[in-house]
Amino acid sequence: DRYRATSNQTAGFMMFDNKFTDHWRLSWGVRIEQFGQELFTPYTGLDTTKKDTLLTRHIYIDVLPSINLIYSLNDNSNFRFSVSKTLSRPEFRELSRFRFYDYTSNATIEGNPDLRRTNIYNADLRYEIFQKFGQMFTVSAFFKYFVDPIEQTVDFTGPETRVKSFVNAKSAINYGFETEFRLKFSTIFRKPESVLLNSFLLTFNAALIYSQVKFEDSLSYILPRPLQGQSPYVINSSLQYQHPEKGWGASIFYNIIGDRISEVGNDA
């Protein structure tokens, strides 16, 4: 019912920012990380001389490059093309054989010591406009390729028993479109002199995402499906009011996400 774990991370990076002309700019660099992770489970036998058992040990050295190529149309708008590599590492609880009961889902959750970290390759093409007072508008297309993505699974071991755990799929892709803006009402209605309209701020973010998982060859008969936990669309918005003199404000928020897979069944 317990575990002992440590992690150790050492990292360094270098970054360059080059402006070639009045319109072209390149921001690029690389980050290098060494990450170590150990997890021990207690020895439960009668021999008191034995120590805890090493359950998992991982040491990774990762090179994470990033490139941003920017073309400035004018002082307020850009085209931006970005490529990068990022990571997603399993948590201790996802690695440990420690079991605990989740009362919300009526299931027992157990980690998987064989989990590997996920490598993520990103590409993004964005058009962005910046205005005064922190206002902005962007529209972008993106693509992500995941190697060893981590998904939550569920195994029905009995008629009344559900055991959740975590596994690595072989790979997955995500791609789609996203738009975001943050505008004052004075800009929307083209009345910059209005004190009242300048007190209202509208924010909006929406994304359409297509995702698909690729399995190991032994599970190739399974039909294509989205990545576990990935919604096909996400919308976030808010309307905010800030009194220009008295310093108080009010906000209304709205959020909606599309149907998503909460957990993946086993091959049975």
Q: Are 204 and 180 in contact (CB under 8 A)?
A: yes
Segment 242-259 shows an average pLDDT of 93
pLDDT of 107 reads 86
pLDDT tens digit sequence for 180-211:
999 999 888 888 888 888 899 999 999 999 99
Judge residue 194's burial from the number of C-beta atoms within 10 Å of its C-beta, 0-12 exposed, 13-18 middle, 19 or more buried.
Answer: middle
pLDDT tens digit sequence for 42-90:
766 665 666 667 778 889 999 999 999 999 999 899 999 999 999 999 9
- C-alpha dist (Å) from residue 176 to 8, 128, 141: 35, 17, 6
pTM of the predicted structure, to 2 decimals? 0.86
pLDDT of 190 reads 87
The span from the CA of 27 to the CA of 100, in Å, is 46
Three-class SS string for 100-129? EEECCCCEEEECCCCCCCEEEEEEEEEEEE
pLDDT of 188 reads 86
The span from the CA of 169 to the CA of 93, in Å, is 19
pLDDT of 145 reads 97
Residues 188, 192, 197, 200, Cα dihedral to 10°: 70
Judge residue 230's burial from the number of C-beta atoms within 10 Å of its C-beta, 0-12 exposed, 13-18 middle, 19 or more buried.
Answer: buried
* The pLDDT of residue 212 is above 60: yes
